[in-house]
Amino acid sequence: MKIAQFSRTGFIMAAAGSAVGLGNIWKFPYMTGEYGGGAFVLVYLITIFFVGFSVMVAEMLIGALGRRDTVGSFERLAPPDKKGWKYAGFMGFNGLIIMTFYSIVIGWIFYYLFKLLETLPDSTDAAKKTFDNLVTNEAGIQIFWHTVATLIVTYIVYRGIKRGIEKINLILMPALMVILFGMLVYAFNLEGFSKAFSFMFEPDWSRLDSEAIVRAIGHSFFTLSLGMGAIMTYAASLPKNASITKTALIVTLMDTLIALVAGLVIYTFLFQEGSPPTQGPGLVFISLPVVLSNLGYLGTFLALLFFLALSFAGLTSAISLVEPVVQYFIDKFDTTRLKAVFTAGLLYYIVGIGALLSYTNRWGEVFSIGGKPLFDILEYTTDSILLPVGGLLIAIFAGYILQKERVRAALEHEMGKTFFNLWYFSIRYVAPIALVFMMLNLMGVLKI
């Protein structure tokens, strides 16, 4: 079945929307705080261009050459004696597994948007109590917002490439950037900005340990939405005259810039009010609202803007997590987009209810395995196993399975001979070694 094409700008915004998600605005700032600031950021920046960018080019290349769903693209491009590579395309289902808990987090953000209309918590204890109560006691509220998030995402995906995915990204991505850069302009005029800048860009090497290096490598990869088939599926709709290299570079730069801006904004507010940066995952849901509460009505307005930006980032990424499976269902079973979207949405929605119930006091034991909540199991499985494996398969396929001359013909005229050779070396050696090292460390097989 023929896949509709993005416009060039539409593809860039959609791919950037896939990459720019909760990892940029929620996860990157708290990880930076946990692992020492500037040194962590520097390792992150180095690896995002040596590992993340290399794999992104490879994933876009497979999608642009294959012009099908993820399974179909691998099957079409693999040599006749290596057709088993089509099974690598099932990495497209990684996104659906991620959506089982990603939709819950988007629901939390929606909840906070409405909660902040009432009042901001005036203490960390109060903020923590609000968040903990939501997660452990308010199953009904969580299911409601999980349902809202599911309905929004499935409707946009149902509308298709042009009328749904491209259109919403052309609206939400510019809106997200306007909000974040507007907050950055405001933050620039605060005393806390210079402290935030120093914290993020002046390396303190004494605080950089081996775990921080591994996490920086991992986050530089995950933040670009690689290894789940989203970029590959979008690239199947990339205009044939578009430059893969230039497009991948633009997306990588946009993704990185938004992560850095989000970090500067958050840490400016924290340092302005004397709050420590090492707050962990609760940084956005617990610490930031308390800090902004000291600014009165202005703080409420800034909090609303921030959570609005967070919701936009969550939605644009969520759309890309669902689309690969939808496209696979359409191609494989020759079904309508409506049936494919309904099936994919129902699958992650039902499992998602179990995941959110696994954190509750009442149902936690029922929806846990070996004493570990289903939510944590799903998150760990994707982060530590499925996504690294997906990225590794992409690197191996582009570096060893695809004929080098075909890869060269597609990319060398864009990159130039020298840069192509550097990229090819990276995709064959640097990226696979980094991904295997990261995966073994996260799984606990290799500890340094």
pLDDT in tens, 324-338: 999 999 999 999 999
Name the one residue in this structure whose structure tokens are 């864009």: 414
Q: What CA–CA distance (Å, rounded) separates 245 from 249? A: 6
pLDDT at position 75 is: 94
pLDDT at position 122 is: 77
pLDDT bucket at 195, cuts 50 / 70 / 90: very high
pLDDT bucket at 442, cuts 50 / 70 / 90: low
What phi and psi values does residue 68 have, to the nearest 5 degrees? -140, -170
pLDDT at position 9 is: 83
Q: Tens digit of pLDDT for each residue in 380-398?
A: 888 778 888 899 999 999 9
Rounded to the nearest integer, the mean pLDDT of the chain is 88
- Compute the average pLDDT of residues 371-376: 94
DSSP 8-state assignment for residue 335: -
- Work out the number of other CB atoms within 10 angstroms of the CB of residue 424: 20
pLDDT at position 447 is: 54
Q: Tens digit of pLDDT for each residue in 14-55?
A: 888 888 887 788 788 878 888 878 888 998 898 898 889 999
Q: What CA–CA distance (Å, rounded) separates 344 from 128? A: 34
pLDDT at 355 over 70: yes
pLDDT at 448 over 60: no
194-208, 340-354, 371-385 — most confident range: 340-354
Structure-block tokens of residue 26: 């929620």
Q: What CA–CA distance (Å, rounded) separates 405 from 70? A: 22
pLDDT at position 260 is: 93
Report which secondary-structure segment, H or E, holds 161.
none
pLDDT at position 419 is: 96
Q: Tens digit of pLDDT for each residue in 129-185?
A: 888 999 999 999 999 999 999 999 999 999 987 788 888 888 988 998 999 999 999
Q: What CA–CA distance (Å, rounded) separates 20 from 124? A: 28
User: Percentage of the chain surpassing pLDDT 90?
Assistant: 54
pLDDT at position 441 is: 74
8-442 in CATH: which number?
1.20.1740
Helical residues (DSSP H) of 273-402, grouped into ranges: 287-293, 297-333, 337-357, 374-381, 387-396
pLDDT at 77 over 80: yes
- Compute the average pLDDT of residues 292-311: 86
pLDDT bucket at 71, cuts 50 / 70 / 90: very high
pLDDT at position 280 is: 58
Q: What angle do CA 312, 377, 144 make, to 5 degrees?
A: 45
pLDDT at position 3 is: 60
| Pairwise pLDDT comparison (412 vs 382), residue with the higher score | 412
